[in-house]
Chain A
C-alpha cells in the first residue's frame, strides 16, 4: 500500500476532526479538513476549563491546532459540504465553494449542537434575562473571568439545572447527554472558587459520575466547596418582583415542594446531533439515533459506518466528553489505516 496516494477528507474541524486528521497525517495520508466555521476548534473554542482537572480549554485548543499544522494536512475553513456520494469506491464531495473533491475515504466528525434551551420554556431561557446556558457560563468565565447577572452584579445565589433537553420525552430526547452532570459539578466549583460568597444549588434527577475522577470531583464539591444539591427536577421558573428567578422543584428526598429564588439560573444543556450530523446521516441513509450516526457495531466496529470507506469520529455518534472524543478520533485514524491495508 502506498499511503501517499490515498486522500482522506475529514468533515468537521472540532477536537474529533483535528485529532483524526493529525493522526492520519502522521500515518502518511493526505488529509483535508473541511470546517464550516471560519475557525477550527469547534465548541472547544468557547470553553473555559475542562473537567475533571480544570485544564485550560484554550491551551488544549492550541495544542490540537499545532498538531494539525502539518504539511500533509490542508485545512479549508468557512466551507461546508453540500453533497456527499459514493461511486465505484470513490467518494464525490461538493462543497459550498462549488469545489469537487474525490477522496478515497471520508471521516465524519460533524459533532453536536447544544440543546436549544428555548424549547424548555418552563425554565425561562430567552424570556428571563438571567437564565443562561452552561455554554454561556463558560464564555462568561473565559471572557470576563467572573460571573455576573445582566446588570453586572455578582450573583448571591445561583441555581444549576441538570438534564435540560436530556432524558426528556417532552423534547423527544430519551438519552442521557453524559457530560452535563460533571459539567454542573465543575461549574459549581468554578463559581464558588471565583465568588466564595455565592451560594450554588444543583437541581438534579440523578448524579451520574461515570468518568474517571468524576466522583472524586463531586465529593470535592461537597466537602471543599460547599455546593448544595437538591434531588428534584425543576418544573418551572418565574420572575419575582425584585427581578430574581424563583424556581419550583420537589425535594424528593423529603417529599416536599421547595422554592428557591436565584439571581442566576444556569441550564445544563444537553448534547444533540448537529445539523450536519443529522443531515448527512439522513442523506447517506445511515441508521441514526436522534440524528446521531449509528456505527456498524458498538463494540468492534464503532468507528466504521455501514458505508465502505466512510468513518465516524467523536460526538457525531452520540454524547461524549472531550477526552472520549480524542480517544475515539485516534481509534478512527487507526481504522482508516486498517481499511487501506485491505483496499
Chain B
C-alpha cells in the first residue's frame, strides 16, 4: 500500500509480515488457554461450512491465521459477522474448539483495542 505524504513522496508500507516483530501475545494467550487451537491445519472446512459466510466475507480460518501472525487491526471488524452457529466446530476434522477461540478472540481484541485507544489518547 502506498500513500502520498505532504511533500509528494511515496511512503510504502512493508510488503511482508515480520514474524520477528509481530505481536503474538494475543495468539499465545489463546493458544495456551485453548490447546485445541494449536491443532488447526488450515483445511478450510470451517470457512466452507460457515453460515455467516453465506452473506459476508467472514473467514474464520484466515482470522485465526492473521491472529497467529500478529495482524490484529482488521480482526475485530471481521469477527462481528460471526453468527456463532457452531457449524465450523462440527466441520473441523481436528477438533479445534472454534467457538471458544472466537469468544476469547472477541474478548481479547476488545481489550487490545481499548488499550490502543488509551495509548493514542495519551499522545
A and B, direct touch (CB closer than 8 Å): yes
Per-residue CB contact flags for chain A residues 166-192 toward chain B (1 = under 8 Å, else 0) read 011110000000000000000000000
Query: Which of B43, B50, B53, B90 contacts A233 (CB under 8 A)?
Result: B43
Contacts of B87 in A (CB 8 A): 235
Q: A233-B43, A255-B61, A257-B53 are in contact. Are A250 and B48 (CB under 8 A)?
A: yes
Q: Is B42 in contact with chain A by the CB < 8 A criterion?
A: yes
Q: Is A249 in contact with chain B by the CB < 8 A criterion?
A: yes
Which of B25-80 touch A at CB < 8 Å? 41-50, 53, 59, 61-62
Q: Is A205 in contact with chain B by the CB < 8 A criterion?
A: yes
Residue of B nearest to A169 (CB): B95
Instruction: Say yes or no: A233 contacts B45, CB within 8 Å.
Output: yes
Instruction: Say yes or no: A233 contacts B61, CB within 8 Å.
Output: no
Contacts of A250 in B (CB 8 A): 44-48, 59, 61
Residue of A nearest to B44 (CB): A250
Which of B78-96 touch A at CB < 8 Å? 87, 90-95
Residue of A nearest to B36 (CB): A169
Contacts of A122 in B (CB 8 A): 91
Which of A213-256 touch B at CB < 8 Å? 231-236, 248-252, 255-256
Query: Which of B49, B62, B92 contacts A255 (CB under 8 A)?
Result: B62
Query: Which of A163, A169, A170, A252 contacts B44 (CB under 8 A)?
Result: A252
Instruction: Say yes or no: A232 contacts B44, CB within 8 Å.
Output: yes
Q: A187 to nearest B CB, angstroms?
A: 21
Contacts of B45 in A (CB 8 A): 232-235, 249-250
Instruction: Say yes or no: A169 contacts B94, CB within 8 Å.
Output: yes
Instruction: Say yes or no: B93 contacts A170, CB within 8 Å.
Output: yes
Contacts of B59 in A (CB 8 A): 250, 255-256
Residue of B nearest to A247 (CB): B48
Instruction: Say yes or no: A249 contacts B48, CB within 8 Å.
Output: yes
- CA gap between A203 and B22 in the complex, in Å: 32
Instruction: Say yes or no: B48 contacts A248, CB within 8 Å.
Output: yes
Q: B86 to nearest A CB, angstroms?
A: 13
- CA gap between A142 and B42 in the complex, in Å: 36
Contacts of A233 in B (CB 8 A): 43-45, 48, 91, 93
Query: Which of A167, A169, A206, A257 contacts B48 (CB under 8 A)?
Result: A257
Q: A169-B95, A257-B53 are in contact. Are A249 and B44 (CB under 8 A)?
A: yes
- CA gap between A335 and B48 in the complex, in Å: 49
Residue of A nearest to B88 (CB): A235
Contacts of A205 in B (CB 8 A): 41, 43, 93
Contacts of A232 in B (CB 8 A): 43-45, 48
Residue of A nearest to B42 (CB): A252
- CA gap between A122 and B90 in the complex, in Å: 10
Residue of B nearest to A204 (CB): B43
- CA gap between A167 and B94 in the complex, in Å: 7
Contacts of B94 in A (CB 8 A): 167, 169
Q: A170-B90, A236-B49, A257-B53 are in contact. Are A251 and B44 (CB under 8 A)?
A: yes
- CA gap between A150 and B59 in the complex, in Å: 36
Instruction: Say yes or no: B53 contacts A170, CB within 8 Å.
Output: no
Contacts of A248 in B (CB 8 A): 48-49
Q: A258 to nearest B CB, angstroms?
A: 8
Which of B93-116 touch A at CB < 8 Å? 93-95
Residue of A nearest to B87 (CB): A235
Contacts A233-B91, A252-B44, A255-B47 known; 5 new A-B pairs at CB < 8 A: A170-B95, A235-B48, A235-B91, A236-B91, A250-B47
List 6 A–B pairs whose Cβ atoms lie within 8 Å, in order of A's numbering.
A235-B45, A235-B48, A235-B49, A249-B44, A252-B61, A257-B47
Chain B residues in the interface with A (C-beta under 8 A): 41-50, 53, 59, 61-62, 87, 90-95
* For the complex of A and B, 3 pairs with smallest distance between CB atoms: A250-B44, A169-B95, A235-B49
